Amino acid sequence: MIKRGFGSVYQRGGVYWLKYYKQGRPFRESSKSQDRQEAERLLKRRLGELATGRFGGLSPERIRMGVLFDDLVEDYATNGRKSLPVLLSRLRLHIRPFFDRTLAAQFGTDLVTKYTKLRQQAGAKPATVNRELEFLRRALELGFRADPQKVLKRPYVPMLVENNVRRGFLTVEEYVRLRNELPDYLRPLFVIGYHVGCRRGELLNLRWSQVDLTAGQIVLDPGTTKNGEGRTLPIYGEMSPILEMQRAVRDASYPNCDFVFQIDGRRIGDFRKAWATACKRAGLTGLHFHDLRRSAVRNMVNAGIAEKTAMHISGHKTRSVFDRYNIVSARDIQTAGKRLEKLFEESLGTTSGTVPQNQPLKMSSPTERKDLM
């Protein structure tokens, strides 16, 4: 029962309506039902929202998901998100046809589950479905934060388990083998990518004004990286001589080309075919250029570089992604075992009362052990 003075339920044309107040202002709402108990449950829900301050009026109840998607597109455009074309494509092909006319207030986990199953039946991979669900999450979050609110609650959006994360990386021996098989114009790009783990797009757009061979560093300007933040990369090892050679070639033959990585005076474009051919000759079929990124992270961690510094160099903003790229190989495990063995040997050799190295331990006989009991 609803206490007198807190609200009322009345019937009009066979349908039950609610009446309640917020700061003296009356609100009337149809329960869209001919069941009085259902109308009373809705009234109790509204009174609860009023008591907790979550009642934002009746307009959020009428907002459809399509409105939230429009706001999401505007948010991406306003903030200059590079993934805006991907968002527009996913919305048009998959998300809008399924969710566009759905009331945001009726959006729930059951609906997400139906969408997920539908996409899987169409052959979409878990990673693809998850990226689409992330767009849904963001749309709902923007609606929840809006003033006045367009979404009164953020429903749980379950994600799929992704088991298609690539595990490729290059050892130093494989690096040398592939470097020698690559065509001359790709070799500098490969060397820099392996050493600092930059994304392919960041490297292909690199200009000589960003390279300081005297100071031994490369500066990636804000806005030129995936996350929009600038980074400073070290020049070390084979990077220095190969960049010097690359600049000498540019100065002699293509003085007007400002791109560091070029072919015949033009920025390098699609090189997948040349890459695949070189990988095949080097016995590394299936290797991706992005695998150099994983290799660089692993090498930096093995070299003892602080994780914060390594993440800055590679451009990883979150620890979870960085951990995923920090791949441990069988050789890493063996090396760790040898280092631990050496540590224990040195410790045992300096601890008073321990057994000297290479001297076998003398084990008590069964009779001796019995006497000690």
Closest to 136 measured CA to CA, from 150, 120, 157 = 157
Cα–Cα distance for residue pair 364/34, rounded to 1 Å: 88
pLDDT tens for residues 207-242? 999 999 999 999 988 877 766 677 888 999 999 999
Residues 207, 258: contact at Cβ < 8 Å? yes
Task: Note if the bond before 255 is cis, omega within 30 degrees.
Answer: no
- The values of phi and psi at residue 170, to 5°, are -110, 130
172-325 CATH choice from 1.10.443.10, 3.90.1200.10, 1.10.287.10, 1.20.1250.20: 1.10.443.10
Closest to 233 measured CA to CA, from 199, 267, 279, 257 = 199
Using 50, 70 and 90 to split pLDDT, how confident is the model at 373?
very low
Which tokens hold the place of 100? 């566009």
Q: In the predicted model, what is the mean pLDDT of the chain? A: 83
Domain ranges of the chain: 8-55, 65-145, 172-325
* pLDDT for residue 193: 93
Q: Is the pLDDT of residue 359 over 60?
A: no
Q: If you compute the radius of gyration of the chain from its CA atoms, what whole number of angstroms results?
A: 32
DSSP state of 161: P
65-145 CATH choice from 3.40.50, 1.20.950, 1.10.150, 1.10.3470: 1.10.150
Compute the Cα dihedral for 18, 20, 22, 24 and give only its sign: positive
pTM listed for this prediction = 0.56
Closest to 153 measured CA to CA, from 24, 45, 78, 69 = 45
Which residues are within 8 A (CB) of 219 and not within 5 positions of it... i.e. 6 or more apart? 210, 212, 230, 231, 232, 233
pLDDT tens for residues 302-332? 888 877 787 788 787 776 656 665 555 555 5
